[in-house]
Structure 1
């Protein structure tokens, strides 16, 4: 197997116009450099967090040869000793500018404390320019340790040795295993091919679940964009169907329109592996047939890169023959993708700018006077408005919503009204009480009372029986009123502090805290009122007797012909008395509950 095979049936000559002898010269080179610079500048401004910028993403499992491939493309050496792996994304941009080779390293924080310091803008790490390629490996180690460290003092890592960094990572104290923060590498050299790509940490299986999921999330997010070229690296010694990187690429790009596959370590296939040789030969031929599930529009590459022993002897990837096709096709695809995407990107930027200007136009004029005075006036106005709304002087819907809920509470409590019947009709309803039930309660309560005198305890038992059904509807009403009032406070704070996000957050935090305290106090008052109701049964209503007579006549009329009214005189009197008390207690309870709710 040679170091580079034909791709998709097209020989290298098909792209000879983009060969190594012309790619850095002429109109194409000028356009390529301009587009790469634009892409780098947009990403440095943080545009990648808003827009789907064109990019190449390199994915693969650990030990898939990704590091060797990166070295072959960039010409730099990356950390690769035993136990070392890529633990964060590395964004590399190569530009054919300048007269000598230079490299700069920056750190871009994607979230957390560091993000608040500089957003998505890269922060310079190390010297302004690295001019010796041999120094890059150590600076990459330092940069990776800096982004993995939870310490905000990143500059401390700029003086660490390789051994000190290895020891710190092994110790694990204050160090994350992996991170989303990115190392940004900019290489300038007149002899390089203009190219930009993102190298992601290799997919792992033997680690903690959090690290495994973090890397999977990184891969999914980076390959999801329609403007992303996915470069999948995989060793030919592994089964293509078991490659996690292949699975992620197919999920994001099921048609294979933006996936390129690079096969590594072909020397791992022994001469006896005839079946594997035949499979990879068919795969590399990349025939677009219904039976070829591995077909890719941009085909496959196969490269043999130096092993550790060869690198120690100074044999680099640049010594390998026939890399022209690999070096020229990727930049050409990326440039083509950028050219196609520029009109869409320009439209997206214009839309975002228009939206931003609209939001800026809605901001209030700059406040005049002392800031503290202005803040106090804003808060005072908010509190006055809230107080006015709570008593119905303004924001009428608040009072109307609460009033509707109080009316529903009355209906719910009325369902607990004692239901008296003349005789047992074999119902299982506990709220139904017939004449015989009342008679039995009277008998159980009678001691040395005079004839015709119903024991007072009889009324208490029956009143307590229906009062027990009030707790649940009152609690439900209280919770609903609290939700209505809480939602109103959120809405009112938005109206008063929409232009002051931090102030709104501060006021809402304190308002909710105070509201919870008031809720606890008001709920205690409601429960106390419920516990006092009917203990003992008492009323100062002067019309109690007339209402009692009304219900006596009503029960006699209803029960006539179904029972002996004369013999059941005491029972009917008890029923009428309890029913009258229920009506008066209901009216009083609705009013006192409303007042207690207002304590919220």
Structure 2
């Protein structure tokens, strides 16, 4: 740009000063022309920055990160509404108690080209355009009633009022509710705390310039608004104070007020400005804002103490507008690099979050069915991998199953000891069971009964093993269901029901086969070579060959024969039961489940199966909305930086 921003502001300030001191019509005409040229340079230098932030706020980026802005705060009846009124050129709601009940973003845009006056008010999804300045108060009240309810309550939802006129400055600021000290009728007892929390929510952010409105006719140190500003900005780096109602101060306190404005009492880095806006009497007398502006200038020109503030550029609403615009643009320029980095970081994080939050099903029926086929195929694939022993979680399924099978094997080995002990006791009383056999021969029926009774003690442990394995497999299947269908509660429920039904059926089959196994074990059978091998492996036992079978049927070897045969039973049970359980509860369940899942593609409404959990779909929508607005913001910033170069 050919004219620097700082030089333009200097021209702007000097023009205001010369205009105030000149009563010559010719000079006034010349200075008006000069002012138009200055405004033209101002438009070129500052409007793009303010428009940039307004655009980002319109996109909704303020929901994700703080934007450079000016926030107006003040105690009730501090003159806050009057200041905004003078800056904007429109009548805002006035009255006793809380007038501003929602944050009001005031966007002032100086326009040319035949536009006389136009405004747009927007909140939530509503947007109303109008061309009558007298309708501003009504529209703002309507918006506040809709957001905060009829009455005197407050709300933190933003109302945006955009005013386009050739008679306003280029400025955007946010007006917040006045700080109440005592609740009035209809207000909650904690209204003061509610308002303070709302104010702090805005002013605590480092990107915010705090414009504090303070009446001249009270002790500045006692104002709640300035106290709040000092809490969040103790060094006064981003606070500007506006002193109002200078015509109401007590006689003799002028020098004290002057010292405040000159930054000698409570220092603020951005300083003070004194203004005199329309009072209620002037409003009642139908004094226009233009007339009030002229009266303000005359008040300071004729004031014995405050006239010096004109030359210091610390008085009048025009001086305030100049100061605010300059500070806002400087603040925006300083904030842009950090703002750009914050947007980049949030975009990076959001893309990762969206990856975790699986994309939802297409809305069209054909696309939805293809989506269902895809996730069912993925589910079946994971179930097959699970049943084949692939690692699907931190601990492999077969590691857990093997732990149970090892405990089953350990239990079987423990029962060998109890068999040995009981065999000795039974042999001692075996004579009581002697039948017609001659001495030296054993009763084979006794041999059978001892083994049959001992094997029968394994039934309950076998049943517990089956239930334990069922529980482990069910947990892993359920985990796959919840992982693959985490967003679809109906599909989850249907699949879990299928697993329960299939496992119940398979458990019944497994129980039947285990029962048959125990019945077969009552037969007391094994091949002769297997029995002899087991018998010969018993420590301290004689060795026998198959040719000696008829001669070692004697009581002295009775316990060894029982021990040898039970070793064979243990080996059979150690392998057979786990194999049965794995076959029915895992392999067959997985096979039946994957086949049954494909039947969901027939006769069931796809939309019902793919109905999403509300929280999940809402989170995805929120993430996508954030991604969209941050992407727009990044593009807007990129285009702005490109055009600035």
| The two structures share one fold, judged by TM-score above 0.5 | yes
Q: Which residue of 2 aligns with 1:400?
A: 390
Determine if contact 1:398/1:488 at 8 Å carries over to the other structure: no
Query: What secondary structure does 1:591 align onto?
Result: helix
Matches of 1:481 and 1:191, distance apart in 2:
71
Deviation at 1:62, TM superposition (A): 6.1
How many equivalent residue pairs? 492
Q: Which residue of 2 aligns with 1:478?
A: 474
Q: Which residue of 2 aligns with 1:596?
A: 589
Greater CA drift, 326-335 or 314-323: 314-323
Deviation at 1:348, TM superposition (A): 9.2
Determine if contact 1:398/1:484 at 8 Å carries over to the other structure: no
Query: What secondary structure does 1:187 align onto?
Result: strand
For residues 26-73 of structure 1, what are the alpha-carbon distances to aligned partners after superposition, in whole Å with 9 as ceiling and x for unaligned? 123553445445554554455656786532223456666543443343
Matches of 1:62 and 1:355, distance apart in 2:
42
Deviation at 1:464, TM superposition (A): 1.1
Deviation at 1:334, TM superposition (A): 1.3
2:109 paired residue among 95, 99, 108: 95
Matches of 1:527 and 1:63, distance apart in 2:
79
Change (3 A) 1:516 1:35: same
Q: Which residue of 1 aligns with 2:71?
A: 57
Q: Which residue of 2 aligns with 1:183?
A: 159
Q: Are residues 1:192 and 2:165 paired?
A: no
Query: What secondary structure does 2:390 align onto?
Result: helix
1:128 paired residue among 127, 130, 138: 130
Which one has the bigger helix percentage? 2
Change (3 A) 1:96 1:389: closer
1:113-192 equivalence runs, <5 A: 114=125, 123-125=126-128, 128-132=130-134, 135-148=135-148, 169-170=150-151, 178-192=154-168
1:299 paired residue among 271, 274, 287: 271
Determine if contact 1:60/1:244 at 8 Å carries over to the other structure: yes
Max Rg structure: 2
For residues 145-176 of structure 1, what are the alpha-carbon distances to aligned partners after superposition, in whole Å with 9 as ceiling and x for unaligned? 3445xxxxxxxxxxxxxxxxxxx714x9xxxx
> Which runs of 5 or more structure 2 residues have no equivalent in the other structure?
1-8, 20-33, 301-314, 351-363, 434-444, 543-555, 595-645
Q: Which residue of 2 aligns with 1:229?
A: 209
Q: Are residues 1:79 and 2:93 paired?
A: yes
Change (3 A) 1:585 1:329: same
Greater CA drift, 77-86 or 189-198: 77-86
Q: Which residue of 2 aligns with 1:120?
A: none
Deviation at 1:197, TM superposition (A): 0.8
TM-score normalised over the length of structure 1? 0.60
Q: Which residue of 1 aligns with 2:494?
A: 514
Determine if contact 2:102/2:177 at 8 Å carries over to the other structure: yes
> Which runs of 5 or more structure 1 residues have no equivalent in the other structure?
1-11, 115-122, 149-167, 357-370, 423-430, 491-504
Determine if contact 1:91/1:196 at 8 Å carries over to the other structure: yes
Deviation at 1:413, TM superposition (A): 0.8
Determine if contact 1:60/1:66 at 8 Å carries over to the other structure: yes
Q: Which residue of 1 aligns with 2:304?
A: none
Change (3 A) 1:557 1:184: same
Matches of 1:334 and 1:576, distance apart in 2:
91
Matches of 1:194 and 1:259, distance apart in 2:
20
Deviation at 1:333, TM superposition (A): 0.8
Change (3 A) 1:436 1:378: closer
Change (3 A) 1:47 1:405: closer
Matches of 1:309 and 1:352, distance apart in 2:
52
Q: Are residues 1:417 and 2:413 paired?
A: no
